[in-house]
Structure 1
Amino acid sequence: MSEPTERYKTGLATRRAVLGGPYVDAAVASTTAFNADFQTLITESAWGSVWSRDTISKRERSMLTIALLAALGHHDEVAMHVRATGNTGASMDDIKEALLHVAIYAGVPAANHAFKIAAKTYAEMDAEAKTTG
């Protein structure tokens, strides 16, 4: 692999700040020759180009991301980004509001499923906090 670009380094730092070190470490550790280009692409583009912009806050990006993922039915990613709200500052009420928008603009079934995923993820996060805190 070639030397990481500055955008990759910025993206990796932002990805780590949003998703958490353990998650990113696992993703990096699972990089193979087959998916390395994809990992570089998402680190540079999603995290280094978009998430690293300072035009809107990480809280707002978090809300937008969860709404878009819910609307598109990307359920695993919804859960991952709900977990990330602990790092982005998006509150449970923020996510509720984002998912209400999903119901109106992308459909009740998409929002219904996302509400279930978010509730389950928040319950898991609460349980984890009780065992580690």
Structure 2
Amino acid sequence: MTDPSQPSDRYKKGLAVRRSVLGDAHVNRASANATSFDQPFQTLITETAWGTVWSGSHWTKRERSMVTIALLAALGHDDEVAMHVRATANTGATEEDIREALMHVAIYAGVPAANHAFKIAKLALAERDADNSQMEETK
């Protein structure tokens, strides 16, 4: 019988993938902010989104990143779009990849959704670049 107080293997795998994509700072923040109310949700997304979908072997993290950005943009999930645009620094997806994903959003989900997502992506990329510049200056 599995001990419910111990994380599953899928959770452990998902946590490693989540950290590799979103970065330790983001995952640590999410973990620190979890309460007894939303901890089951954190476990669910770590096991399913990260431990199953993002851990699959058919697509690369770069490919998953592009599809995720397009889907989130099409559905209007602004905060998640920004988070996943920033995460492209860890997935190998380039600014050109992001642009092409959002061009698909324009055709298949509508120009207004893509227009808004382009604004979000530009801001997220500028913030990421500024953070990287600050880190370089402190070295």
Query: TM range, normalised to the smaller chain?
Result: over 0.9
Alignment equivalent of 2:53, drawn from 50, 53, 61 = 50
Show the counterpart of 2:124: 121
Supply the AA of the counterpart residue of 1:27: A
| Cα RMSD for the two superposed structures | 0.7
Aligned length: 133
Name the TM-score, length of structure 2 as normaliser: 0.94
Cα distance between partner residues in 1 of 2:114 and 2:56? 28
Show the counterpart of 1:8: 11
Name the TM-score, length of structure 1 as normaliser: 0.98
Show the counterpart of 1:112: 115
Cα distance between partner residues in 1 of 2:8 and 2:133? 40
- Unaligned 5+ segments in structure 2 are none
Identical-pair percentage: 66
- Unaligned 5+ segments in structure 1 are none
Cα distance between partner residues in 1 of 2:132 and 2:48? 32
* Deviation per residue, 1:6-32 (Å, 9 max, x gap): 000000000000000000011011111
Cα distance between partner residues in 1 of 2:97 and 2:51? 24
Supply the AA of the counterpart residue of 1:48: G
Show the counterpart of 1:40: 43
In the TM superposition, residue 129 of structure 1 has moved relative to its aligned partner by 1.3
Q: Please identify the structure whose Cα radius of gyration is greater.
A: 2
